[in-house]
Amino acid sequence: MAAAPPSYCFVAFPPRAKDGLVVFGKNSARPRDEVQEVVYFSAADHEPESKVECTYISIDQVPRTHAIMISRPAWLWGAEMGANEHGVCIANEAINTREPAAEIEALLGMDLVRLGLERGETAKEALDVIVSLLEEHGQGGNYYEDANSCHSFQSAYLIVDRDEAWVLETIGKYWAAEKVTEGVRCICNRLSLTTKMDAEHPELRSYAQSQGWWTGEGEFNFSEVFSPVEDHLDCGAGKDSLEKQEESITVQTMMNTLRDKASGVCIDSESFLTTASGVSVLPQNRSFPCIHYFTGTPDPSRSIFKPFIFVDDVKLVPKTQSPCFGDDDPAKKEPRFQEKPDRRHELYKAHEWARAIIESDQEQGRKLRSTMLELEKQGLEAMEEILTSSEPLDPAEVGDLFYDCVDTEIKFFK
């Protein structure tokens, strides 16, 4: 398999984003045949001294975990992207650095996304959770469901709440982070931090010196010190696609950016595909709810973004959940990945039909695409009403919101 392609996540703050909204978006570029599921986990209390089984290792559980909605490769425990009930959103990127990532099984970057969401009430709290777990357990292990070779990476994260974002970039247990409260920020599969670091590992600079990557003199530039010598990856066109928007950035602008194949933001290559996408809208006015949109299907240019709002009584959506293989799952047995089970969920299977029509029949494909966008538009308009209404949100009306949208989409494909 070729090196991972650029996979993007973005955040836009007012006034670049419209109407006092923070807008977050992420495309997950993964192996073409990998299925991503969208799963809700309610808040939960846990017994003292209990453990949580992550993708490869078990770690100590905390007394209480927050409710989360995540999009994840169906074979692993963590998440590519997601949100929690407190309006925290996190996405991660696999990155290459001067120091090769460990192949030894530890926490995956995607495990740390989920752990940050489950344990952090704010973006800064989630960052603190991630870096303390990195210090304790390290990161490593195969990022792909591949028995033939281990694809391990370091990780970068975009961690966002209603007030601020943190860009966190890691090399093993070492890290640096920058706080963002205005404008537009994009991260992809390369280091982006330079000389502005608002927090860092206490031994980061001495470690760089010990490796001979920094002399200790002059300004410390994180990307220059830790990027691979031959770093040919260019995220520029994708980054520009949102930053150069002349209009205010809305949820629709973010969705359009994630659908943009010309800029490279939406990947569709021989080996890789944007296997899932997510957009979140976080109103800075706390009297309005955060709204999170997930596709649950590959290629956002051929998918429908469906809304979800956290309330106490969320209706579960088995149609976006992959089959569970329990202890017999080849991802859990060692040696790992000796087989690849069929992980397609019901929405994924229905969507395969739509993708085939769009690819093969121009006229019917155009009509189908237009109807899909109309379905999405109805959802966006309904959410716009919620964000501009003077009436408080009725939780009973939105508990089955995502369920109904998925159900409508599947019926439409049939």
Three-state DSSP class for residue 24: strand
Looking at residue 379, its pLDDT comes to 97
For residue 83, what is the enclosing H or E element? strand 81-84
Strand ranges in 181-217 using DSSP code E only, listed in sequence order:
184-187, 199-200
Residue with tokens 């770690």: 59
Looking at residue 229, its pLDDT comes to 82
* CB neighbourhood size of 385 (10 A): 10
Q: What span, in angstroms and rounded, lies between the C-alpha atoms of 156 and 48?
A: 31
Residues 9, 54, 188, 405: which is the catalytic one? Answer: 9
What does DSSP assign to residue 19?
T
* CB neighbourhood size of 353 (10 A): 12
Looking at residue 360, its pLDDT comes to 87
β-pair type (58-60, 154-160): unpaired
Q: Which residues contact 39 (CB under 8 A, 6 or more apart)?
A: 69, 70, 72, 320, 321
Looking at residue 238, its pLDDT comes to 77
243 token code pair = 């930053």
* CB neighbourhood size of 234 (10 A): 12
Clarify whether 9 is annotated catalytic. Answer: yes
CATH of domain 8-413: 3.60.60.10
Q: What span, in angstroms and rounded, lies between the C-alpha atoms of 292 and 276?
A: 14
Residue with tokens 């650095």: 97
251 token code pair = 């949820």
Contact 383, 307 (CB under 8 A): yes
How confident is the model over 18-31, as pLDDT tens digits? 999 999 999 999 99
Closest CA to 92 of 199, 188, 193: 188
Looking at residue 2, its pLDDT comes to 46
Regions in the chain scoring below 70 on pLDDT: 1-4, 231-233
Looking at residue 4, its pLDDT comes to 66
How confident is the model over 140-162, as pLDDT tens digits? 999 999 999 999 999 999 999 99
DSSP 341-390: -----HHHHHHHHHHHHHHH-HHHHHHHHHHHHHHHHHHHHHHHHHHH-S
Three-state DSSP class for residue 328: helix
Q: What span, in angstroms and rounded, lies between the C-alpha atoms of 305 and 153?
A: 29
Helix axis angle for 251-258 and 362-388, nearest 10°, is 150
Helix axis angle for 401-413 and 362-388, nearest 10°, is 170
Q: What's the whole-model pTM score?
A: 0.97
Q: For the chain, what are the domain ranges? A: 8-413
β-pair type (154-160, 165-171): antiparallel
136 token code pair = 């304790």
Q: What span, in angstroms and rounded, lies between the C-alpha atoms of 354 and 167?
A: 36
